[in-house]
Structure 1
Amino acid sequence: MVGEISALIAAGIWSASAIIYDKILVTVKISGTLVSFYRGLVSLPFFAVSLLIFDPHLPQLSSLHWFYLVISAILGITIGDTAYFLSLQDVGVRKALLLQTLTPLFGAFFAWVFLKESLTVYGLIGIALTLLGVVWVITERTTAGRSPHLLRGSLWGILSCAAQGLGAMFIRDVLENSDLNSLWSSSLRMVLGTVILAFWLGYKGNFTLSALSFPQWQAITGAAFGGSFVGLWLHQTAFQFAPVGIAATLLSTSPLFAVGISVYLREKVTWRSLGGVVIALVGIGLLLIR
């Protein structure tokens, strides 16, 4: 049960972190790109301390694996995470998290295209159900939540899932064919992705560290510690102690936690929204059946 509990706690932490980031985006009115950079910046010391304590020796990587690592960082962190924050800014927590359930779908698609991994009948049904659940919620007309730019936010969410799914292809090759472990890979990807994002913000003239107040920096730090650091450890623990399919499915339950938090905050949650989340999660479960 250790793996299953770890997966559920990670999903809950990611939902809470998303709500914190959402409140900052609404309050400060800054770009999701800048929030993505801030998240990466404040999470780096946590990774650095962990490496110094648990694994201070940098693994030896070939030039090709370094190239794959950089590509994975650009896709997963610079593009994928930033697109997620832009989606969060446009459509709010519940819909942004629900869109993230498409990531396993893109992972399966890219594995089918590039690695020639076959899709089972369950997988095809799972893809259909996941898409149905997401579309069912995204197209709901309701005053609950924030969706001023629904199409744009949905496209950002889809781009995020596609980039993360493709980036996972590259990092998986490195993890399977080198001495790089999950802690080092996560740390290096966060460093590379954040540095590249900083150069992009500098190029666009949006690089600044003064957009947030001290309490807001505290909130960002707490969300980064929980979502990017503790969530990572729980993510790895889930896959270590639970079957892959069960762990991946439970890790995808963040939208359910977001609905629960919304109920706690006395926000309106419709049956259609809840039903769409459940349908999408059932689809993910089928997609992971081998």
Structure 2
Amino acid sequence: MSYIGEISSLLAACVWAIATLIYGQFSHQLSSLQLNLIKGLLSIGLMLIAVLMLQDAPVEFQTNHIYILMFSGVLGIAVGDTAYFASLRRIGPQKTLLLESLAPPITGIIAMLFLQKHLLLTQWLGVFLTIVGVTWVVTKSSTTSDTSTEMTPLLTNTTSSLTRLDYKGISFGLLASFCQATGVVLSHYALAETNISGLWGAIIRLTAGTFAVCIILMITNHKQLKIISALSKLTAKSLKLLFIAIFIGTFLALWLQQIALKFAHPATAQTLIATSPIFVLLLLFMQGKKVSSSALVGTLLSFLGIIFIFY
């Protein structure tokens, strides 16, 4: 049995974990829409270069599948990613990733209701265990070493974050999860029914989503379209970090996500992609940092869930 979709999902989770932490550094230097526009434009260019290098010629497919991919891009990227960045800006990566863990069950319900895509009972158990494990890691974990590391904000609870609730930030996070889930199901339908490659699927979705972001900026605040001016305010180091985040977090992650959605059940793919906090924890461990026992419990639960999903 081939596990191309599931493996692609885990790889996407790994690269997205790194990118999320880097993006968090720019949440107060660039607006959510600006960040979404910049990553979209640069990633489209990278994907077109990849198409030429891989000689991935577009295949013939029905126009309605293109429209579905475009709509999923507008919903998942223009609306969903902008809401995600807005949530990241207001409540930080920890709570944003926690709210993102709601996307897999929403994806499963939507796929079951509208596409008649059903998971086995053991797979639903895997989805449940994985989400519980990720939620446990995000809410309970903390590092016991150097708190200056860029990765600790994801795993560290502060008194202020526990006592203050930003309802607008939470609403953005919930909106991002719903848009992400709906976009994933639409994308799965279009990709699974055609010979469209994961790379072309990513290009179509990203182009439609980025174009929608441009329209939103033209209507709401056209001054934010001056992205060159916004980027010029960043240091050389910040620009390099931003490029790295876009390369791995949008170019690679979106490409891997589309491959996952083409070959795996959308709820399974979304669940495995949602394991990104676990990969952050593993990165910390590989750096020699000590993590709490509760973090290990959450990690073991997630791995147990992944085993059930693959079973």
What TM-score range do you get, normalising by the shorter chain? 0.7 to 0.9
Structure 2: 5+ residue stretches without partners: 141-155
User: Do 2:198 and 2:255's aligned partners in 1 also have CA atoms closer than 8 Å?
Assistant: no
The farther-off stretch of 217-226 and 125-134 is: 125-134
Q: TM-score, normalised by structure 1?
A: 0.77
**Which position in structure 2 is the counterpart of 1:16?**
18
The farther-off stretch of 275-284 and 53-62 is: 275-284
User: Do 1:90 and 1:146's aligned partners in 2 also have CA atoms closer than 8 Å?
Assistant: no
Displacement of 1:84 in angstroms is 1.7
RMSD: 4.0
1:79 aligns with 2:79: yes
| Partner Cα separation in structure 1 for residue 205 and residue 262 of structure 2 | 21
Deviations along 1:153-186, one digit per CA (max 9) or x if unpaired, are 3332232222122112222222233332111110
User: Do 1:245 and 1:289's aligned partners in 2 also have CA atoms closer than 8 Å?
Assistant: no
Equivalent positions of 1:128-207 (< 5 A) are 129=129, 142-143=157-158, 149-205=165-221, 206-207=224-225
User: Do 2:18 and 2:280's aligned partners in 1 also have CA atoms closer than 8 Å?
Assistant: yes
Displacement of 1:76 in angstroms is 1.6
**Which position in structure 2 is the counterpart of 1:211?**
230
| Partner Cα separation in structure 2 for residue 2 and residue 172 of structure 1 | 16
Deviations along 1:101-133, one digit per CA (max 9) or x if unpaired, are 332212211012112334544455556556656
Q: TM-score, normalised by structure 2?
A: 0.73
Local SS of the residue matching 2:226: coil
| Partner Cα separation in structure 2 for residue 104 and residue 150 of structure 1 | 23
Which letter maps to 1:223? A
Identity %: 30
CA gap of 1:92–1:257, structure 2 versus 1, over 3 A, is farther
How many corresponding residue pairs?
Answer: 287
User: Do 2:197 and 2:259's aligned partners in 1 also have CA atoms closer than 8 Å?
Assistant: no
| Partner Cα separation in structure 2 for residue 248 and residue 187 of structure 1 | 19
Structure 1: 5+ residue stretches without partners: none
CA gap of 1:14–1:145, structure 2 versus 1, over 3 A, is farther
Which letter maps to 2:87? S
CA gap of 1:100–1:274, structure 2 versus 1, over 3 A, is farther
User: Do 2:275 and 2:302's aligned partners in 1 also have CA atoms closer than 8 Å?
Assistant: no
2:274 to 231, 241, 252: 252
1:104 aligns with 2:104: yes
Deviations along 1:52-102, one digit per CA (max 9) or x if unpaired, are 222464433433223212211111211222222122222222332343333
The farther-off stretch of 114-123 and 207-216 is: 114-123
User: Do 2:83 and 2:172's aligned partners in 1 also have CA atoms closer than 8 Å?
Assistant: yes
| Partner Cα separation in structure 2 for residue 203 and residue 156 of structure 1 | 20
| Partner Cα separation in structure 2 for residue 94 and residue 139 of structure 1 | 8
User: Do 1:253 and 1:281's aligned partners in 2 also have CA atoms closer than 8 Å?
Assistant: no
CA gap of 1:241–1:163, structure 2 versus 1, over 3 A, is closer
| Partner Cα separation in structure 2 for residue 74 and residue 112 of structure 1 | 22
User: Do 2:104 and 2:268's aligned partners in 1 also have CA atoms closer than 8 Å?
Assistant: no
User: Do 1:245 and 1:285's aligned partners in 2 also have CA atoms closer than 8 Å?
Assistant: no
The farther-off stretch of 261-270 and 216-225 is: 261-270
User: Do 1:255 and 1:277's aligned partners in 2 also have CA atoms closer than 8 Å?
Assistant: no
The farther-off stretch of 172-181 and 35-44 is: 172-181
User: Do 1:68 and 1:170's aligned partners in 2 also have CA atoms closer than 8 Å?
Assistant: yes
| Partner Cα separation in structure 2 for residue 2 and residue 124 of structure 1 | 17
User: Do 1:94 and 1:258's aligned partners in 2 also have CA atoms closer than 8 Å?
Assistant: no
User: Do 2:103 and 2:270's aligned partners in 1 also have CA atoms closer than 8 Å?
Assistant: no
Local SS of the residue matching 1:92: helix
| Partner Cα separation in structure 2 for residue 282 and residue 158 of structure 1 | 26
1:46 aligns with 2:62: no
